[in-house]
């Protein structure tokens, strides 16, 4: 298919062409926003490997009550508002990978960006959050 055929198709199908252009722009916009947030996404299986191989610090930024109902084994609870580079949990982990976990993988993005700006080189957000962890069939620990 050459450009002339593509232009002719677009002329005959304006609704399809507009829909394709809109979807393309939406995907590009979402990817640009993801890159600008500063956090890299990490799949649940990759989190397990990162913890086992590189002693990653897993910080659950949900409220304490939700953390106690179920969290990733070995995770530490730190409220989202307390995620600051100078916090004692983070100050000792600047050279380690840090993985932030929230409910669905969205609210931890801002904290990840802040940590990167503070010099943390390996900051990740668990893709899908604790919901994604459960959907992957991985275990949760209860209590503190």
Active site residues: 102
CB–CB of 97/124 below 8 Å?
yes
DSSP assignment of 52-94: HHH--EEEE-S-HHHHHH-B-TT-EE--GGG--TTSHHHHTTT
CB–CB of 131/72 below 8 Å?
no
Running DSSP on this structure, what letter comes out for residue 122? -
Using alpha carbons, select from 143, 135, 73, 80 the residue that is nearest to residue 110: 80
CA distance 45 to 41: 12
Running DSSP on this structure, what letter comes out for residue 105? S
């Amino acid at each position: 298919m050459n450009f002339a055929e593509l232009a002719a198709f677009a002329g005959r199908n304006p609704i399809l062409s507009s829909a394709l252009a809109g979807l393309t722009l939406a995907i590009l916009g979402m990817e640009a926003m993801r890159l600008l947030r500063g956090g890299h996404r990490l799949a649940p299986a990759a989190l397990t490997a990162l913890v086992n191989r590189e002693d990653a610090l897993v910080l659950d930024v949900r409220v304490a009550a939700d953390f106690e109902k179920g969290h990733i084994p070995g995770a530490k609870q730190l409220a989202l508002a307390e995620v600051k580079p100078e916090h004692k949990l983070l100050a000792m982990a600047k050279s380690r990978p840090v993985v932030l976990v929230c409910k669905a993988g969205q609210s931890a993005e801002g904290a990840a960006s802040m940590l990167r700006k503070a010099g943390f080189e390996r900051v990740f957000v668990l893709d899908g959050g604790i919901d994604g962890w459960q959907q992957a069939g991985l275990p949760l620990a209860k209590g503190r």
